[in-house]
């Protein structure tokens, strides 16, 4: 299978599987799992936080973050396109009674600080209490600049807001900016990292923050049924992902650019309205083409895509090679 739908489809490599079978484990709810403890300690130090917690998914990491920063009747500011507003089943509102206040994302993925300022509620019994600003990097494959992150930090201090980063793909941002991850993480009170996307681990995310914050998140994780027992079997490949699979993300970014260039040569395909920033390619497709049936044809050849017309998305990752891209392009050429 050559699967362009997402970087979540990556298969754990042989070394990861070996680490999984040999991982030292214990009951993590008792704090006894050496592999989980090592990952949580290592990740906290590596990213410049006091503590971290290993959780089942990026969605759970974001939910724990919002519920740890906010109480019932508080609100968080976020992007209209934010994963933790749009794609997490309204979890913060449903499970935490925390109100989202979405703001339209700018073209570069950022949130305009002037618009955010207007959205902060006055201290008045009519309103929810604005407590948190949540950013996302990368967002739709776009990288927020370090200058913007510094401005967001000052903004959060000025308005006494906590600042969270949904960093599901934050390593793609660091690699694209060619900076150490701490250049990004230093600006935030809390941050998530997905180990199961481009980094290639099978399962899991990290949430990072202060000791008190992570302690609160740990209680909430238990409440949500998210505490796992011999979770070291998952933490071990997660740590491998963070130590071995970061620098290679540049290949995914190069491949994404290559894919975009090749798609542009096909009649009826245009990436002109977009730019490739990291590992995500968007393309507009001529409505004359029956992309649904093309997608079904491709599937018979072992090539999987998510069909669409406006801004159809392709994602590159470690299991997509140049050769795989050439196969896709030559298959598409025969249908267009």
Task: Name residues whose C-beta falls within 8 Å of residue 197's C-beta, 6 or more positions apart in sequence.
Answer: 6, 7, 8, 10, 58, 168, 169, 317
| Residue number, nearest CB to ligand PLP | 58
**Shortest Å distance, C-beta 82 to ligand PLP:** 8
Considering only residues 117-156, where is the footprint of ligand PLP by CB under 6 A? Answer: 136
Among the candidate windows 146-154, 166-174, 206-214, 310-318, which touches ligand PLP by CB under 6 A?
A: 166-174
Closest to 213 measured CA to CA, from 189, 180, 179, 193 = 189
Q: Is-contact 132 76, C-beta < 8 A? A: yes
168 binds ligand PLP (CB under 6 A): yes
- Span of 25-33, 161-169, 263-271, 301-309 interacting with ligand PLP by CB under 6 A: 161-169
| Least Å from the CB of residue 58 to ligand PLP | 2
DSSP state of 29: G
Report how far Cα 249 is from the mean position of its chain's Cα atoms.
14
Residue 279: DSSP 8-state: S
Binders of ligand PLP among residues 25 to 84 (CB under 6 A) are 57-59, 62, 83
Contact 237, 12 (CB under 8 A): yes
Q: Would you count residue 221 as binding ligand PLP (CB under 6 A)?
A: no
Toward ligand PLP, which CB reaches closer, 291 or 317?
317
Task: Determine if 194 is a binding residue for ligand PLP (CB under 6 A).
Answer: yes
Nearest to ligand PLP of 195, 331 (CB atom): 195
User: Which of residues 28, 166, 189, 252 is near ligand PLP by CB under 6 A?
Assistant: 166
**Interaction of residue 172 with ligand PLP, rule CB under 6 A:** no
C-alpha angle 103/104/109, rounded to 5°? 110
What secondary structure, in 3-state letters, does 130-145 show? EEEEEEECCECCECCC
Binding positions for ligand PLP, 250-309, rule CB under 6 A: none
Give the nearer residue to ligand PLP in terms of CB position, either 187 or 294: 187
169 in Cβ contact with 198 (< 8 Å): yes
Give the nearer residue to ligand PLP in terms of CB position, either 120 or 167: 167
Cross-strand bridge partners of residue 269? 285
Q: Which of 241, 263, 75, 257 is nearest to 171 (CA)?
A: 241
Residues in touch with ligand PLP (CB under 6 A): 57-59, 62, 83, 136, 166, 168-169, 194, 196, 205
């Amino acid at each position: 299978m050559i699967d362009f739908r997402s970087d979540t489809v990556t298969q754990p490599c042989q070394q990861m599987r070996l680490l999984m079978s040999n991982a030292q484990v214990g009951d993590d709810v008792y704090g006894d799992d050496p592999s989980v403890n090592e990952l949580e300690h290592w990740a906290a130090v590596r990213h410049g936080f006091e503590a971290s917690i290993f959780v089942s998914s990026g969605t759970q990491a974001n939910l724990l973050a919002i519920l740890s920063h906010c109480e019932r009747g508080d609100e968080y500011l976020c992007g209209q396109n934010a994963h933790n507003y749009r794609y997490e089943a309204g979890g913060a509102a449903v499970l935490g009674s925390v109100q989202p206040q979405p703001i339209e994302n700018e073209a570069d993925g950022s949130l305009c600080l002037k618009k955010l300022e207007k959205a902060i509620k006055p201290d008045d019994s009519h309103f929810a209490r604005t407590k948190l600003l949540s950013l996302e990097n990368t967002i739709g494959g776009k990288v927020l600049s370090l200058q913007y992150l510094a401005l967001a930090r000052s903004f959060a201090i000025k308005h006494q807001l906590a600042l969270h980063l949904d960093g599901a793909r934050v390593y793609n941002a660091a690699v694209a900016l060619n900076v150490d991850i701490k250049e990004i993480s230093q600006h935030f009170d809390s941050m998530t990292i997905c180990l199961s996307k481009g980094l290639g681990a099978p399962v899991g995310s990290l949430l990072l923050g202060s000791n008190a914050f992570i302690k609160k998140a740990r209680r909430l994780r238990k409440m949500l049924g998210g505490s796992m027992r011999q979770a070291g079997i998952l933490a071990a490949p997660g740590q491998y992902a963070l130590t071995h699979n970061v620098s290679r993300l540049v290949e995914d970014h190069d491949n994404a650019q290559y894919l975009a260039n090749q798609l542009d040569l096909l009649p009826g395909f245009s990436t002109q309205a977009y730019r490739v920033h990291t590992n995500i390619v968007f393309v507009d497709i001529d409505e004359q083409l029956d992309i649904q049936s093309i997608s079904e044809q491709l599937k018979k050849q072992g090539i999987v895509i998510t069909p669409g017309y406006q801004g159809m998305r392709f994602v590159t990752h470690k299991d997509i090679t140049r050769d795989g891209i050439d196969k896709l392009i030559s298959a598409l050429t025969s249908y267009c």
